[in-house]
């Protein structure tokens, strides 16, 4: 399998579409068919699944 994970467990990331830019922690990495990778990211009150293109390590000031 040649899946490449950009983020690691425990990385602090930000969701690009989140206006508040609340930090999230990578709590899981899901390997999907066709070498797709999704990430489970958690804030203080919920967990969501995201693709790497939705996340960034840098806080975005929009």
Mean pLDDT over each residue of the chain, to the nearest integer: 91
Position 3 scores a pLDDT of: 64
Position 6 in a domain: no
Position 61 in a domain: no
When pLDDT is cut at 50, 70 and 90, the band that residue 5 belongs to is confident
Determine the structural domain holding residue 43 and report its residue range.
12-56
Position 47 in a domain: yes
Asked if pLDDT for residue 54 goes beyond 50, the answer is yes
Residues 6+ away with beta carbon under 8 Å from 4: 35, 37
Please measure the distance between the N-terminal and C-terminal CA atoms of the chain and give it in whole angstroms.
Answer: 37
pLDDT in tens, 34-45: 889 999 999 988
Q: What is the CA radius of gyration of the chain?
A: 12
Position 46 in a domain: yes
Asked if pLDDT for residue 57 goes beyond 90, the answer is yes
From the list 43, 23, 39, the residue with the least C-alpha distance to 31 is 39
Q: What is the pTM of this model?
A: 0.86
């Amino acid at each position: 399998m040649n899946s490449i994970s950009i983020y690691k467990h425990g990385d602090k990331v930000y969701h690009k579409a989140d206006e508040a830019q609340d930090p999230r922690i990578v709590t899981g990495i899901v390997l999907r068919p066709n070498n797709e990778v999704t990430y489970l990211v958690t804030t203080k009150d919920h967990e969501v699944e995201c693709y790497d293109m939705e996340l960034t390590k840098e806080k975005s000031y929009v």
